[in-house]
Amino acid sequence: MSDWLHSLRRHVGVLPNPPSRRTLTLAPRIADADVTVSVCPYCAVGCSQLIYTRDGEIVDIEGNPDSPVNAGTLCPKGAATRGLAQSPLRLTTVKYRPPYATEWEERSLDWAMERIAQLVKQTRDETWTETDEAGRRVQRTLGVAHLGGATLDNEENYLIKKLFAAGLGIVAIENQARI
């Protein structure tokens, strides 16, 4: 039994308006859910969220009261994050038009991610440079560029730009906020 329910039942006799029998059997929808600390996906503020899941499904998302950034609050967009993840209108496929084709084909997101990874790897391998014109070791590619979004916070930008993009040898790294 949860602490709040135990406390409520213990104080039933002293409350001026005691709760009904039905109220005593109720529990919050997050009572037995697993909680994961996350970051709101929208703006660059980096508000912390608590994601409650049960059997792999999101049951609630709320602001994290332990966060020094948002102290448990969320803007309307952040409060609607569950809708982003679970909306029946969310696209789960991509449109793809093969070279020289006139019609679009529908493909899975898994196929698209794998295809993008293959093309990045192929381009990187084809344009890889070990040394520059002066013979200095550079280990880079000029065939792939990275344009970052302005909606990421500093930590995400560091992970994506420094660890991912630079880790691939990409030196053409730019941020949307600067453009």
Give the domain ranges of the chain. Answer: 1-29, 33-88, 91-126, 128-179
pLDDT digits (tens, 9 = 90+) for 6-22: 666 665 656 667 778 88
pLDDT tens figures, 120-153: 999 999 999 999 999 999 999 999 988 776 666 6
Which residues sit opposite 34 in a β-bridge?
A: 53
Using CA atoms, how far residue 27 sits from 3, 22, 52, 141, in Å, is 11, 10, 15, 56
Rounded Cα gap, residues 127 and 19, in angstroms: 71
The encoded tokens of residue 7 equal: 């406390």
In the CATH scheme, what architecture does the domain 33-88 have? Answer: Single Sheet (2.20)
Q: Which two tokens stand for residue 173?
A: 């790294």
Q: Check if the beta carbon of residue 112 is closer than 8 Å to that of residue 96.
A: yes
Read off the pLDDT band of 26 (50, 70, 90). confident
Residues 6+ apart with CB under 8 A from 67: 47, 48
Mean residue pLDDT across the chain? 86
Q: Is the pLDDT of residue 101 over 90?
A: yes
Q: What is the residue whose two structure tokens read 């602001």?
A: 63
Q: Encode pLDDT of 39-53 as tens digits.
A: 998 877 889 999 999
